[in-house]
Amino acid sequence: MIGHALDFAFGCYGLALLLNIYRIVNAPTVGDRILALDTLVINAIALLALFGILEGTTVYFEASMIIAMTGFISTVSYTRYLLRGDIIE
Amino acid sequence: MIVDILIAACLVISGIFGLVGSIGLIKLPDPMMRLHAPTKATTLGVGGALIASMLYFHFVVGQFSFHEFMIVLFLFLTAPITGHFIAKTHLHLGHRPEDLPPTGTDRPWASYESDEARAAIEAAAEAEAEAARKGG
């Protein structure tokens, strides 16, 4: 039963990633593009967690932690750059 | 058996929420509306996936891992901050201060108040508090 649920979740997050990439390629405003990149990172973390369940190993959690931190910092620096024209003042 | 059902339910719910968040990012009409879908639904979805992984490693594999909890905590702490910053970007790039609803005070929206104006208002409030303390 866990196997089928895992397949379903993989399908959902794969589709979500494709929708995010579509939104990054044609976004109406710059803010939407940053938002789509942030969502892409969060969906990638979910996919890594699901892959960890599939393989039965906890190795991938360090990777997801680092991706989470990089995603947060990059979103904040993009928005800071747009708001102030400078990242570190 | 119950644990299996619980893990499968967590996985299915998390998948649905993650997909709904990304569909909302495409479908909703207004930039501020589009901000709602990923910051709430996708965060909940990823939380569900990580809780399912925590349950799986504790009950099926038999080793307790604390990493998922840390990732969930980090994501739940940072999602409001990124949402706030992206909302501020939308506000500054897409709206003029005159279009926004009134604040109900003399001061403008905090995001549009200049540093000099804020410093002047805070200095005045400080002086008033000082005078009240001396008088009392």
The radius of gyration of chain B from alpha carbons, rounded to an integer in Å, stands at: 23
Q: Is the Cβ pair A35, B26 closer than 8 Å? A: no
Q: What is the mean pLDDT of chain B?
A: 86
Q: SS3 for B54-98, per residue?
A: HHHHHHHHCCCCCHHHHHHHHHHHHHHHHHHHHHHHHHHHHCCHH
User: In Å, how far is B135's CA from the nearest CA of chain A?
Assistant: 41
User: In Å, how far is B53's CA from the nearest CA of chain A?
Assistant: 6
Mean pLDDT in residue range B59-74:
85
Question: B44 at the A interface (CB within 8 A)?
Answer: no
Helical pair B2-27 and A30-55, crossing angle rounded to 10 deg: 160
Angle at Cα B10 formed by Cα B49 and Cα B56, nearest 5°?
70
Mean pLDDT in residue range B89-96:
82
Q: Is the Cβ pair B53, A43 closer than 8 Å? A: no
pLDDT in tens, B16-64: 999 999 999 898 888 888 888 888 899 999 999 999 988 888 888 888 8
d(CA B99, CA B51): 43
User: In Å, how far is A59's CA from the nearest CA of chain B?
Assistant: 10
Prediction ipTM score = 0.86
Nearest CA in chain B to A66: B71
Longest dimension (CA), chain A: 53
**How confident is the model at residue B35, as a pLDDT?**
87
Q: Which residues in chain B are contacts of A72 at CB distance < 8 A? A: 74, 78, 81-82
First and final C-alpha spacing in chain A: 53
Q: How confident is the model at residue A73 (pLDDT cuts 50, 70, 90)?
A: very high
Model confidence at A5: pLDDT above 80: yes
Question: A14 at the B interface (CB within 8 A)?
Answer: no
- Identify the helix (H) or strand (E) that includes residue A79: helix A60-84
Question: What is the amino acid identity at position B104?
Answer: G
**How confident is the model at residue A89, as a pLDDT?**
64
d(CA A59, CA A5): 22
- Tell which of A17, A20, A34, A39 to mutate to test the B interface (max B CBs under 10 Å): A39
User: Could you tell me the residue ranges of all domains in chain B?
Assistant: 2-94, 101-136
- Return the structure tokens found at B95: 């709206």
pTM: 0.84
Model confidence at B70: pLDDT above 70: yes
- Return the structure tokens found at B123: 């200095």
The phi-psi region of residue B104 (left if phi > 0; otherwise alpha if psi is between -120 and 50; otherwise beta) is left
pLDDT in tens, B99-129: 777 877 777 777 777 778 888 888 888 888 8
pLDDT in tens, A15-72: 999 999 999 998 888 889 999 999 999 999 999 989 988 988 888 888 989 999 999 9
- Contact (Cβ atoms closer than 8 angstroms) between residue A5 and residue B11: yes
**How confident is the model at residue B136, as a pLDDT?**
63
